[in-house]
Amino acid sequence: MPNQFTSPSGWTVSSVRNPWGQVPHTAGGQSLTDSARKLADRLHDRPNAENMKNVRRHHYVPQGYLRRWSFDNRRVWTLDTVAGKFSAIGVKDLCVEENFHRVVGPDGNPHNAVETMFTSVDEELCRVQKMFDQLREPDSLTLDDYQILCVVIAAQRIRTKQQRRVHSQYAEWLAAQAPSMKSWFDLDDPLFASGIHTEGVFRALWSAADVLLGRQIEIWEDPSARFPTCDAPVLVPFIKGRRPPLLSAHQIIWPLSPNRVVVLSNDLVGEKAVIRQASSKQVGTVRDAVLQGRERMVVAGVTQREQLARYRLYGGRRVQVELRCSERTPQGERVAAGGCCVRFREWFGIKPDAALCSRGLHQPAPEMLKWT
């Protein structure tokens, strides 16, 4: 339990025991535990003949992850929030896109080696998913487990179709402001977006994991197996229609199965992990986070089959970029006359929303709408 005390400067500070024995932080990938180091090594292996096999259909959510919701080890109940249709779909046909991770190699030739590198991440993700889904003794967790949990959550969060769409909206805005920036959408270079996005995943992986490390692991359990998941399965609940950035989010939710979710929260209690039975309010929090956080498809376990058809569709709204001008920087400093600070946020709506000042500093970016 946290201890509260008042520091000499008058701030009320709370201190919580660190149950891990050392500071949980990868230092941007410099300080890795065993499994994380092995994963990093596998990711940095040069593409070899074996992993250059030409796999065309790329899954951005692993099939093994989705299979936890399956009723026959093959298919899951899904709600298509665009078509408003519910049906059973095989996990091999969900969250999949042709050449999603296809990139141009240093020799100028396009290849699919990245997809095979992601296989290592997928294997770790499914291993960690199972471990936390079956965890009984939180004290048995090691720093290694914690680090790899945060790495797989970070990787899953960044690599979805939703993240590519949101970043494409932002890239269109940047491209409209500065001719030196390039739109992600380029007919002459169809692999440009996948190249930028895929490179970004690897570059951002460890620092994204560090944003998660240091949070409290909570495991919420629902004996009625009502937790759904979706095609963007790392969830940050929207607050008043805005999605808080990872750094300031109170909770980051990763469904493990219909029975369990991992929640990385800001409520440190000094334990490695806290396992608790979810209240109906918490079950509702997860369901709403899934329904608002999905890109298109919602996946539910067998007990929710009837409920799926009644889930709220939100009329096609989903996460979009929001741009606003401010006279102040995020640190609160006033920007000198002739300038402004553009705030980039994610909101829940039908299209990107850019409302910028009339000081003649910005170019309109109608191309953003291509990625709605």
The nearest distance, CB 330 to Zn ion, in angstroms, is: 15
**Of 139, 135, 130, 133, which Cα lies nearest the Cα of 20?**
139
Measured from the CB atom, the residue of 241 and 339 that comes closer to Zn ion is: 339
The nearest distance, CB 209 to Zn ion, in angstroms, is: 34
Whole-angstrom Cα distance, residue 261 to residue 129?
9
Measured from the CB atom, the residue of 284 and 339 that comes closer to Zn ion is: 339
- Helix 113-134 to helix 34-44 angle (10° resolution) is 160
Measured from the CB atom, the residue of 52 and 357 that comes closer to Zn ion is: 357
- The interface region with Zn ion, picked from 194-202, 206-214, 249-257, 336-344 by CB under 5 A, is 336-344
The nearest distance, CB 360 to Zn ion, in angstroms, is: 9
Measured from the CB atom, the residue of 225 and 356 that comes closer to Zn ion is: 356
Q: Which helix (H) or strand (E) holds 38?
A: helix 34-44
The nearest distance, CB 83 to Zn ion, in angstroms, is: 39
The nearest distance, CB 255 to Zn ion, in angstroms, is: 39
The nearest distance, CB 161 to Zn ion, in angstroms, is: 30
Measured from the CB atom, the residue of 25 and 324 that comes closer to Zn ion is: 324
Candidates 117, 158, 319, 340; binder of Zn ion (CB under 5 A) is 340
Instruction: Mention every residue, 6+ apart, whose C-beta is less than 8 A from residue 322.
Output: 242, 344, 345, 346, 347, 349, 352, 353, 354
Whole-angstrom Cα distance, residue 68 to residue 54?
28
Q: Which two tokens stand for residue 313?
A: 């569709």
CB atoms within 10 A of CB 31: 16
The nearest distance, CB 355 to Zn ion, in angstroms, is: 10
- The interface region with Zn ion, picked from 77-85, 192-200, 334-342, 347-355 by CB under 5 A, is 334-342
Measured from the CB atom, the residue of 152 and 325 that comes closer to Zn ion is: 325
DSSP state of 369: G
The answer to whether 341 contacts Zn ion (rule: CB under 5 A) is: no
Candidates 13, 52, 82, 357; binder of Zn ion (CB under 5 A) is 357
- Helix 192-212 to helix 161-177 angle (10° resolution) is 110
Q: Per-residue contact track with Zn ion, 312 to 331, x per CB under 5 A?
A: -------------x------
Q: Which helix (H) or strand (E) holds 207?
A: helix 192-212
Candidates 356, 367, 370, 372; binder of Zn ion (CB under 5 A) is 356
Q: Which two tokens stand for residue 276?
A: 């608790």
Q: Parallel, antiparallel, or unpaired: how do β-strands 273-277 and 297-300 relate?
A: unpaired
Measured from the CB atom, the residue of 83 and 361 that comes closer to Zn ion is: 361
Are 62 and 101 within 8 A, CB to CB?
no
Question: Which chain residues interact with Zn ion by CB under 5 A?
Answer: 325, 340, 356-357, 361
